[in-house]
Amino acid sequence: MKKIIAKLILLLLSVVIFMILWKLMQYIFNAFVPFNPMTELIAFVVIVIMIPTSMVLADISFMLFQKSFK
């Protein structure tokens, strides 16, 4: 049961981190990047990179969180 809860917390944390990265990318792209088809392709590549990045960051932060309470 604890493993299921830990996985759910990890999933929730990764979604939160992804949303933070999404908002950051949205701000940067809206402020500094001109709109054309090439930037749409770049945005797609960045989104594909953001998914594993959010998972890794969530895993690292979850491990640090667990170590702080042991």
Give residues with Cβ within 8 angstroms of 51, minimum separation 6: 18
- Model confidence, pTM: 0.83
Please report the pLDDT score of residue 13 as a whole number.
Answer: 94
Please report the pLDDT score of residue 1 as a whole number.
Answer: 84
Asked if pLDDT for residue 20 goes beyond 90, the answer is: yes
Task: Give the pLDDT mean for 4-30.
Answer: 92
Write out the residue range of the structural domain in which residue 56 sits: 2-68
Task: Give the pLDDT mean for 16-43.
Answer: 89
Cα separations (Å) of 28 from 4, 15, 45, 53, 65?
36, 20, 15, 18, 30
Render pLDDT for 38-60 as a digit per residue (tens, 0 to 9).
Answer: 888 988 999 999 999 999 999 99
Give residues with Cβ within 8 angstroms of 18, minimum separation 6: 50, 51, 54
Contact 13, 62 (CB under 8 A): yes
Please report the pLDDT score of residue 40 as a whole number.
Answer: 86
Question: What is the domain count for the chain?
Answer: 1
